[in-house]
């Protein structure tokens, strides 16, 4: 029940695993990644049952204590180390040094309050009733993303929210000094458009207005490439291993995909 037991490989292998790519297909830094995604008209940032459009945006802006990598393994996100001293009844998480996008420090008290936990000796403590050996995995789920307690638009993720138009558009700027900046967050800007009609999203891609769309239908038009549940145009790339637990690379499209 100690996260450190999950890591037995060398530093180089860990870096490649974190980014989800091999030595033969390295990501490129820069550019504006444009995506047209399923949305709900007028959807606010904090509305319940978020659409794919807002899930992609939220996972770029906010982080959880843990994260499930593309290969299905659990790794740390805001948490560096975790353990349970009582067989899963309580879990203790040690946070890495982190800052909110407004520059203020993240504190254990803020994280504990967001997750309904407590703080003990500087660690976030979560209690499970009954005992839950899988709680660290649950902390990687979308409903466990952590926002600033006073401003839900602020997070600690690889991208900061520059602009949000309810259900229509989210412009995300890369955070240069982020601890994971050498592992993900390749585009300078992730420009997400919420479009409800699948045919309209496809037209946008065919006319080079966007680089990637979610398109669940079976056909793949000539000149486009299917990557999981997405269609992409020329010059858009994804890691060799794409997370399948949730749509569009476990909602990590904005931080893990890149432009040639």
Which H helix or E strand runs over 240? Answer: none
Q: What is the pLDDT of residue 222?
A: 87
Average pLDDT over residues 124-135: 96
Pair of tokens at residue 53: 């459009």
Residue with tokens 């900046």, as numbered in its chain: 181
- Reported as half-sphere exposure (CB side, CA atoms, 13 A), residue 71 has a value of 11
Whether pLDDT at 85 is above 70: yes
Q: Is the dihedral of CA 95, 101, 107, 110 positive or negative?
A: negative
Task: Name the burial class of residue 35, with classes exposed (0-12), middle (13-18) and buried (19+) by CB atoms within 10 angstroms of its CB.
Answer: buried
pLDDT-based confidence at residue 25 (cuts at 50, 70, 90)? low
Evaluate if residue 8 carries a pLDDT over 70.
no
Is the pLDDT at 14 greater than 80? The verdict is no
Whether residue 171 contacts residue 193, with contact meaning beta carbons closer than 8 Å, is answered with no
Distance, C-alpha 56 to centroid of its chain = 7
Evaluate whether 217 touches 38 at the Cβ level (below 8 Å): no
Tell me the two tokens of residue 203: 């037209």
Instruction: Count CA atoms closer than 13 A to 151's CA, side-chain side.
Output: 11
Structure tokens at 182: 């050498």
pTM confidence score: 0.87
Compare 80 and 260 and report the one with higher pLDDT: 80
Q: What pLDDT does 22 receive?
A: 34
Q: What pLDDT is attached to residue 7?
A: 35
Top pLDDT among 2 and 99 is at 99
* Alpha carbon distance 67, 61 (integer Å): 14
Contact 21, 72 (CB under 8 A): no
Q: Rg for the chain (alpha carbons), in Å?
A: 18
Number of helices (H), then strands (E), in the chain = 7, 15
Residues linked to residue 194 through DSSP beta bridges, in sequence order: 37
DSSP 3-state of 92: strand
The DSSP secondary-structure symbol of 248 reads H
> Residue 62 pLDDT > 70, yes or no?
yes
Q: Do residues 214 and 52 touch, judged by C-beta distance below 8 A?
A: yes
- What pLDDT, on a 0 to 100 scale, did the predictor assign at position 47? 85
* Angle CA 245–42–65, to nearest 5: 35
Listed in sequence order, the residues at least 6 apart from 26 whose beta carbon sits closer than 8 Å to its beta carbon are none
Asked whether residue 144 carries a pLDDT value surpassing 70, the answer given is yes
More confident residue, 53 or 48: 53
Tell me the C-alpha distance between 88 and 62, whole Å.
26
If you average pLDDT over every residue of the chain, what do you get?
89
Q: Cβ distance 149 to 110 under 8 Å?
A: yes
Mean pLDDT of 94-98: 97
Pick the more confident residue, 238 or 8. Answer: 238
pLDDT given for residue 18 in this prediction:
42
Could you tell me what percent of the chain has a pLDDT over 70? Answer: 90
- Is 78 within 8 Å of 63 (Cβ atoms)? yes
pLDDT tens by residue, 148-196: 999 999 999 999 999 999 999 999 999 988 999 999 999 999 999 999 9
């Amino acid at each position: 029940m100690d996260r450190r037991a999950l890591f037995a490989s060398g530093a180089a292998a860990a870096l490649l695993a974190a980014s989800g790519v091999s030595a033969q297909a390295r990501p490129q830094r820069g550019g504006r990644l444009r995506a047209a995604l399923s949305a709900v008209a007028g959807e606010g940032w904090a509305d319940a049952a978020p659409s794919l459009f807002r899930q992609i945006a939220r996972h770029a802006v906010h982080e959880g204590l843990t994260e499930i990598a593309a290969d299905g393994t659990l790794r740390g996100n805001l948490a560096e180390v975790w353990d349970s001293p009582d067989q899963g009844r309580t879990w203790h998480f040690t946070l890495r040094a982190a800052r909110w996008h407004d520059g203020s420090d993240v504190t254990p008290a803020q994280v504990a309050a967001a997750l309904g936990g407590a703080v003990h000796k500087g660690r976030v403590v979560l209690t499970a009733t009954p005992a839950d050996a899988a709680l660290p995995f649950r902390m990687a789920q979308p409903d466990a993303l952590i926002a600033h307690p006073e401003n839900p638009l602020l997070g600690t993720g690889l991208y900061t929210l520059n602009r949000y138009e309810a259900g229509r558009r989210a412009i995300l700027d890369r955070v240069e000094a982020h601890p994971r900046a050498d592992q993900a967050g390749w585009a300078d800007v992730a420009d997400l458009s919420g479009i409800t009609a699948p045919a309209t999203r496809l037209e946008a891609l065919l006319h080079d207005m966007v680089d990637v769309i979610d398109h669940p239908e079976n056909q793949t038009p000539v000149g486009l490439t299917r990557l999981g549940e997405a269609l992409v145009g020329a010059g858009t790339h994804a890691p060799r291993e794409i997370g399948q637990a949730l749509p569009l690379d476990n909602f990590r499209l904005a931080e893990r995909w890149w432009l040639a």
